Amino acid sequence: MQAKVSKSGEKPCPICGKPVVEASKPFCSERCRDVDLNRWLSGSYAIPGKPTDDEDAE
């Protein structure tokens, strides 16, 4: 899914799609910033990579 770009050239909030607020960039509010942080801390977001095998490292 691609984010729509506003007339000012900024992408909307990645959480709810509302216009971005300068104080909370790239989000529209502190609430959306906190939602995003919670998703990272809970493991909902993950950066893909090769699986590591700890036994091979030894």
Q: Is 28 annotated as a binding residue?
A: yes
Q: Is 32 annotated as a binding residue?
A: yes
Q: Is 13 annotated as a binding residue?
A: yes
Angle (nearest 5°) at CA 44 between 38 and 50: 130
Angle (nearest 5°) at CA 48 between 46 and 54: 100
Q: Is 27 annotated as a binding residue?
A: no
Q: Which residues are annotated as a binding site?
A: 13, 16, 28, 32
Q: Which residues are annotated as a binding site for Zn(2+)?
A: 13, 16, 28, 32
